[in-house]
Amino acid sequence: TILKKNNPNYPALQNSPEGMEGIAKRFVAFNGAVDRCQLEWLRTTLEKARQNGEKVVLLSHQPILPGSSTPVCLIWNYQDVLDVLREYNDVVICHFAGHAHKGGYKRDEESGIHFRVIEAVLETPHPDQTYGLVEVFKDKLVLTGYGKCGSGVFDFEHMTKSSSSPSESTRKSSSTPSSSSL
For the stretch 37-82, pLDDT in tens is: 999 999 999 999 999 999 999 999 999 999 999 999 999 999 999 9
Task: Answer yes or no: is pLDDT of 163 > 50.
Answer: no
- Residue 157: predicted pLDDT: 95
CA distance 59 to 82: 14
pLDDT, tens digit, 9 for 90 and up, residues 125-159 = 888 899 999 999 999 999 999 999 999 999 999 99
Length of the chain: 182
Q: Give the per-residue pLDDT at 1.
A: 85
55 SS3 class: coil
pTM of the complete model: 0.86
